[in-house]
């Protein structure tokens, strides 16, 4: 399908989706490890995945969002593709593979903290051939995750060449992570990745060390402490908002959607971070990943 037929979107997300089997524990994760046996009061299936959740959140905030990824051929693939479509995310750029859809087991403890155990058939991998110049040209901004290196790098480099803004979700340190950091316009790191990449536990020192790979704005999430950024030589710390936490699943993905929304509005970085923190906080008051994404009104309610 041509770009003209699909229509231009605000944001194109390139990366993974997942069906999550969420297990709600009756204790904390530490207590589970100490006892070795705990009761599971409830479990359910929920739609998620880093980039799929981020695009669902972008759509909920009012952006025209599209997703480029791979689905399996089972009922789980039908469930998540249908969920994204129902939320206004264009999935026409996706492809299907004759395997089981990607999935994860999410252990959610009584504090709202979660541990994710994920699995995906290698045949679901995106590669550079799956990312076309036409797909990049179809969006004002491209967002990539760090799961499939070849596809993420191809998208980021095409975006740079074609003058399209590009953000990233970088969760772990891998061999090609420095390449991805250098390729995107705005790397957005999970709080663990800068530590793994630099050995620095202090956010400011870590971001200043990462400056050698990218001269632009560097952002990192800090969990319950909020977020931090390095803009030129200026270090910014944006505190989290206090909310009753039910589930932190997807909060980082929603944070990235908040940054993307602010970027496309042309807001100052400090405003982007404050809005993204509010979006993440709103998502933490609900269960699930995609099921927790907030609307623009929900985010504004958290800040009022």
Tokens 């541990």 map to which residue?
A: 115
82 within some domain: yes
Q: How many CA atoms lie within 13 A of 57 on its CB side?
A: 38
**Model confidence at 111: pLDDT above 80:** no
Give residue 149's domain range. 3-17+50-101+121-303
Q: Which of 98-107, 144-153, 264-273 has the lowest mean pLDDT?
A: 98-107
pLDDT digits (tens, 9 = 90+) for 56-109: 999 999 999 999 999 999 999 999 999 999 999 999 999 999 999 998 887 877
CB 142 within 8 A of CB 117: no
* Nearest CA among 245, 224, 247 for reference residue 24: 247
Describe the strand order of the beta sheet including 42-48 as a list of residue ranges: 42-48, 18-24, 103-108, 114-119
Tell me what the mean pLDDT of segment 272-298 comes to.
94
Decide if 42 is inside a domain. no
Mean pLDDT (the chain, rounded) = 91
Q: Is the distance from CB of 131 to CB of 154 less than 8 angstroms? A: yes
- What is the structure's pLDDT at 53? 97
Q: Is there a domain that residue 33 lies in?
A: no
pLDDT (tens digit per residue) in 171-182:
999 999 999 999
5 pLDDT above the threshold of 60 = no
17-21, 93-97, 181-185, 266-270: which range is least confident on average?
17-21
Q: Which of 34-38, 199-203, 240-244, 296-300 has the lowest mean pLDDT?
A: 34-38
- Is the model's pLDDT at 4 over the cut of 50? no
How many domains is the chain built from?
1
Any domain includes 23 = no
Percent of the chain topping pLDDT 70: 96
pLDDT of residue 146: 96
Enter the pTM of the model: 0.90
Query: Averaged over 274-296, what is the pLDDT?
Result: 94
Q: 106 lies in a domain?
A: no
Evaluate whether residue 252 is within a structural domain.
yes
DSSP codes joined into one string, the chain: --HHHH--EEEEEES--EEEEEEE-SS-HHHHHHHS-----EEEEEEE-HHHHHHHHHHHTT--EEEE-EE-SSHHHHHHHHHHHHTT-B-TT-EE-SSPPPEEEEEE-TTS-EEEEEE--GGG---GGG--HHHHHTEEEEEEESSSHHHHHHHHHHHHHTT-EEEEEE-S--TTHHHHHHHSSEEEE-TTHHHHHHS--SHHHHHHHHTTT-SS-EEEE-GGG-EEEEETTEEEEEPPPP---S--TTHHHHHHHHHHHHHHHT--HHHHHHHHHHHHHHHHTSSSSGGGPPPHHHHHHHH-
Q: Is residue 107 part of a domain?
A: no
Supply the CATH number for residue 134's domain: 3.40.1190.20
Q: Is residue 71 part of a domain?
A: yes
**Cβ burial, residue 208 (10 Å; 0-12/13-18/19+):** middle
Q: pLDDT band at 7, cuts 50/70/90?
A: low
């Amino acid at each position: 399908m041509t770009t003209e037929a699909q229509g231009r979107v605000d944001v194109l997300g390139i990366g993974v989706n997942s069906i999550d089997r969420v297990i709600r524990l009756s204790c904390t994760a530490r207590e589970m490890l100490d006892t070795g046996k705990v009761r599971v009061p409830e479990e359910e299936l929920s739609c998620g995945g880093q980039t799929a959740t981020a695009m669902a959140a972008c759509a909920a905030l009012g952006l025209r969002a599209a997703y480029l990824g791979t689905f399996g051929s089972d009922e789980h693939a039908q469930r998540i593709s249908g969920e994204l479509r129902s939320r206004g995310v264009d999935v026409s750029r996706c492809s299907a593979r004759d395997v089981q859809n990607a999935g994860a087991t999410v252990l959610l403890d009584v504090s709202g903290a979660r541990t994710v155990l994920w699995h995906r058939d290698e045949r679901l991998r995106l590669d550079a051939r799956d990312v076309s110049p036409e797909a990049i040209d179809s969006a004002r901004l491209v967002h990539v995750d760090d799961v499939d290196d070849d596809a993420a790098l191809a998208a980021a480099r095409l975006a740079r060449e074609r003058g399209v803004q590009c953000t990233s979700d970088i969760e772990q340190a891998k061999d090609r992570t420095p390449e991805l950091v250098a390729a995107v316009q705005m790397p957005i790191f999970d709080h663990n990745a800068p530590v793994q990449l630099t050995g620095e536990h202090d956010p400011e020192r870590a971001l200043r060390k990462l400056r050698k790979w990218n001269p632009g704005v560097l952002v990192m999430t800090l969990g319950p402490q909020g977020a931090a950024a390095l803009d030129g030589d200026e270090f910014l710390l944006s505190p989290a908002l206090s909310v009753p936490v039910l589930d932190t699943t997807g909060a980082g993905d929603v944070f990235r959607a908040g940054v993307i929304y602010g970027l496309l509005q042309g807001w100052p970085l400090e405003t982007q971070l404050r809005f993204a923190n509010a979006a993440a906080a709103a998502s933490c008051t609900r269960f699930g990943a995609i099921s927790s994404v907030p609307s623009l009104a929900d985010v504004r309610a958290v800040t009022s």
